[in-house]
Chain A
Amino acid sequence: MNLQEYFSLVFSDYTLRTITLGTAILGAVTGMLGSFAVLRKQSLLGDAISHAALPGIALAFLITGAKDSNTLLIGALVSGLLGTFWIRGIISKTHLKSDTALGLILSLFFGFGMLLLTFIQKQPNANQAGLDKYLFGQAATLVESDVWLMAIITGICVVVMFLFWKEFKLLLFDADYTKTLGFNTKIIDILITTFIVLAIVLGLQTVGVVLMSAMLLAPAAAARQWTNSLSTMVLLAAIFGAFSGVFGTAISASQDNLSTGPVIVLVASVFVIFSFVFSPSRGLLFRQIRFISNRRDLEFQKTLSFMYHIAETHDDISHPHTIKILNNFQGFTRKTLQKLVDKNYVTIDGTMWSLTEEGFKTAANLYNQNIKTHE
């Protein structure tokens, strides 16, 4: 199946529709909540939580023997929350810093999870096929009930976000101030954290524990570049996330032997790179262009004011001077001189230049402004 076939089948084929809908919803909800994680400077917490969920999945399987994703996700949720609280415990009760706590929980939980997975594989009666998908994600294994679960949780999340939008924004921007206004910051904090953990757990089947954190960060980081409004950012992150999900699934479905997780992450990374470079207000490309044009303006002004100081010493401001004296002055280039002529500030006669009336006035204004700002 190639990409074209995929998109022509999306609306008619039941399985493809289910999978596509699932990844779109997942991308949207992780994008939205990821915006909160990024703004709270908890970018790597998602990485730790998703890794910490692995032993929960394995244990849920060992205890219940069930393979349906809902049971396993409850295991993942419990173990993810346990990891989150232990991280907080380590940071608040010992002198280990947050990076160490994150790395510890991430690697130790994951290692334990891998031990359990290999242990399960060796069990004679267990049909363990399917647990592997939680490492890198297999969107193809999504069934309708999984998508329903995602849709319901996303729905709840949207409603809660809508209701508590004001409180979320306030806490994200200024937690201390939130307290003085009489809001219980703990409740808001628990709401946000719980939803982030939920979103991560929902995505494990599709994207996998190893790469889930990128689903939180990438759409949000891309969205941040295009807007200065929190609501637009959350909306854009949801859209970017949904598109990454759909495109990633399409590409991985149209190729053999490709897990969905890595492809979705790469598509999301493309969004990030594009945004970093081409965003009009923050992007690197326009920043560079602005930087160059500012430097030109500065050179232009410096040359003009240099000329002004020379012309000032003469009674006749348009007294001609040789271009040579400009040569040992730093801001001067042929181009700036040409620009001055174009603007009619300077006239050139052979190797001599002279300031026009207009040029002298402009330069005088520049000079006065400079004095004012230095005062």
Chain B
Amino acid sequence: MKQMDTIKNAHSKDEAPVSTGVLAVKVDDLTVAYNYKPVLWDIDLEIPEGVLMAIVGPNGAGKSTLIKAILGILKPIAGSVSIYGKPYHKQRSLVAYVPQKGSVDWDFPTTALDVVMMGTYGKLGWIKRPGVKEKKASLEALEKVGMLAFQSRQISQLSGGQQQRIFLARALVQDASIYFMDEPFQGVDATTEIAIINILKELRKAGKTVIVVHHDLQTVPEYFDWVTFLNVKKIATGPVMDIFNDDNLTKTYGINYKVSVQK
């Protein structure tokens, strides 16, 4: 119960969307198919700069696929993505990614600091090694997520929540403008959840755009100011205050879906 209070305190009204009218991400007619079965169909999406956006939808709705297609991990069969008005592959340095925690082998022989340092590799490019500057940035990122004390821990000896924080720190160190996160709250403890959402809100304050695949509908209005409903097609996208309602939830989740939305 105490934790719920903390969350509410963190979410005060002065944190309204800092939208600047500039488009951070623009997706046009994006279609992705696995084995020639469409999993995302003709998605048009405009994400304004400075929003903290949740992507919600039932299992198999293509939420992770959408992020992966935007980031070029999956090849779409149609459509295009632009980041601040230019094709994605020219704007890679503006984008950071937090994959699902389960997508990697946590028994890999490496330390927490080492994983965070990987975030600096993109800017370094081929062959060049990270130096003092990169290490300093990585330590700062570790401190931001409250993991500085664990920097030389082997990653398998971290709890699920701590592993997620390491992933977050790795994205922070990329110093990007747009952050894509695939279910960052899955399997983490309550303290980590608060820590993560506070960092996301800080990012938004600094004018960054944050896009999160999210599962827990109850927390959408508390955590986010923008939301996209997705189920193979885009159902709706816009400010949480305007579109997070039973009507859109039902359209997305099929059966009469009711959630007590706190407004």
Q: Does B110 lie within 8 Å of A163, measured CB to CB?
A: no
Q: Does A166 lie within 8 Å of B130, measured CB to CB?
A: yes
Q: Does A179 lie within 8 Å of B109, measured CB to CB?
A: no
Q: Does A228 lie within 8 Å of B71, measured CB to CB?
A: no
What is the minimal beta-carbon distance from B181 to any residue of chain A, in angstroms?
Answer: 12
Q: Which of A172, A227, A232 has the most CB of B within 10 A?
A: A172
Q: Does B111 lie within 8 Å of A229, measured CB to CB?
A: yes
Q: Does A180 lie within 8 Å of B97, measured CB to CB?
A: yes
Chain B residues whose C-beta falls within 8 Å of the C-beta of A229 in the assembled complex: 109-111, 114
A174 CB-CB contact with B under 8 Å: yes
Q: From A170, A174, A180, give the contact of B103 (CB < 8 A).
A: A174
Bound complex: CA A230 to CA B125 (Å): 21
What is the minimal beta-carbon distance from B63 to any residue of chain A, in angstroms?
Answer: 15
List residues 222-243 of chain A with CB under 8 A from any CB of chain B: 224, 227-230, 232-233
Chain A proximity mask over B149-171: 1 for CB below 8 Å, otherwise 0:
00000100000000000000000
One of B22-30, B115-123, B232-240 contacting the partner: B115-123
Q: Does A230 lie within 8 Å of B73, measured CB to CB?
A: no
List residues 128-184 of chain A with CB under 8 A from any CB of chain B: 163-167, 169-170, 172-174, 176-177, 179-183
Residue of B nearest to A226 (CB): B109
Chain B residues whose C-beta falls within 8 Å of the C-beta of A90 in the assembled complex: none
A39 CB-CB contact with B under 8 Å: yes
Interface of A, secondary structure class, is helix
Q: From A39, A164, A177, give the contact of B108 (CB < 8 A).
A: A39
What is the minimal beta-carbon distance from B154 to any residue of chain A, in angstroms?
Answer: 4
Chain B residues whose C-beta falls within 8 Å of the C-beta of A181 in the assembled complex: 92, 121-122
Q: Does B154 lie within 8 Å of A228, measured CB to CB?
A: yes
Bound complex: CA A39 to CA B122 (Å): 22
Q: How large is the interface on B (under 10, 10 to 19, 20 to 34, 35 or more residues)?
A: 20 to 34
Q: Does B118 lie within 8 Å of A182, measured CB to CB?
A: no
Q: Which of A41, A183, A228, A232 has the most CB of B within 10 A?
A: A228
Q: Does B121 lie within 8 Å of A176, measured CB to CB?
A: no
Bound complex: CA A166 to CA B110 (Å): 12
The answer to whether A163 and B127 touch (CB under 8 A), given A228-B110, A233-B109, is: yes
Q: Does A174 lie within 8 Å of B72, measured CB to CB?
A: no
The answer to whether A166 and B129 touch (CB under 8 A), given A176-B68, A229-B111, is: yes
Chain B residues whose C-beta falls within 8 Å of the C-beta of A167 in the assembled complex: 121, 126-127
Bound complex: CA A177 to CA B103 (Å): 10
Q: Does B73 lie within 8 Å of A176, measured CB to CB?
A: yes
Bound complex: CA A173 to CA B156 (Å): 13
Chain B residues whose C-beta falls within 8 Å of the C-beta of A174 in the assembled complex: 99, 103-104, 118
The answer to whether A180 and B72 touch (CB under 8 A), given A166-B130, A174-B103, is: yes
Q: How many residues in A have their beta carbons less than 8 Å from beta carbons of B?
A: 26
The answer to whether A183 and B68 touch (CB under 8 A), given A174-B103, A176-B99, A177-B97, is: no
Q: Does A228 lie within 8 Å of B111, measured CB to CB?
A: yes
Q: Which of B109, B110, B125, B128 has the most CB of A within 10 A?
A: B109
Chain A residues whose C-beta falls within 8 Å of the C-beta of B121 in the assembled complex: 166-167, 170, 181, 183
What is the minimal beta-carbon distance from A176 to any residue of chain B, in angstroms?
Answer: 5
Residue of A nearest to B72 (CB): A179
B124 CB-CB contact with A under 8 Å: yes
Bound complex: CA A228 to CA B93 (Å): 30
List residues 91-147 of chain B with CB under 8 A from any CB of chain A: 92-93, 95, 97, 99, 103-105, 108-111, 114-115, 118, 121-122, 124-130
Bound complex: CA A165 to CA B125 (Å): 12
Bound complex: CA A128 to CA B114 (Å): 53
List residues 174-210 of chain A with CB under 8 A from any CB of chain B: 174, 176-177, 179-183
Chain A residues whose C-beta falls within 8 Å of the C-beta of B97 in the assembled complex: 176-177, 180
The answer to whether A230 and B109 touch (CB under 8 A), given A177-B118, A180-B92, is: yes
Q: Does B126 lie within 8 Å of A177, measured CB to CB?
A: no
Chain B proximity mask over A41-62: 1 for CB below 8 Å, otherwise 0:
1000000000000000000000
What is the minimal beta-carbon distance from A190 to any residue of chain B, in angstroms?
Answer: 15
The answer to whether A173 and B115 touch (CB under 8 A), given A39-B108, A179-B73, A228-B109, is: yes
Residue of A nearest to B171 (CB): A177
Bound complex: CA A107 to CA B154 (Å): 39
Q: From B108, B109, B126, B129, give the contact of A227 (CB < 8 A).
A: B109
The answer to whether A182 and B92 touch (CB under 8 A), given A173-B115, A176-B103, A224-B109, is: yes
What is the minimal beta-carbon distance from A109 to any residue of chain B, in angstroms?
Answer: 29
Chain B residues whose C-beta falls within 8 Å of the C-beta of A230 in the assembled complex: 108-110
Bound complex: CA A227 to CA B109 (Å): 7
Q: Does A173 lie within 8 Å of B154, measured CB to CB?
A: no
Residue of A nearest to B124 (CB): A166
Residues in chain B within 8 A of chain A (CB atoms): 68, 71-73, 89, 92-93, 95, 97, 99, 103-105, 108-111, 114-115, 118, 121-122, 124-130, 154
The 10 closest A-B pairs by CB, nearest first: A181-B122, A228-B154, A182-B92, A180-B97, A180-B71, A174-B104, A176-B73, A230-B109, A228-B109, A173-B108
Contacts A224-B109, A228-B110 known; 13 new A-B pairs at CB < 8 A: A39-B109, A166-B124, A166-B127, A166-B128, A170-B121, A173-B105, A173-B110, A176-B99, A179-B73, A180-B71, A228-B109, A229-B110, A230-B109
Between A and B, 6 residue pairs with Cβ closer than 8 Å are A39-B108, A173-B108, A174-B103, A177-B97, A177-B99, A181-B122
Residues in chain A within 8 A of chain B (CB atoms): 39, 41, 163-167, 169-170, 172-174, 176-177, 179-183, 224, 227-230, 232-233
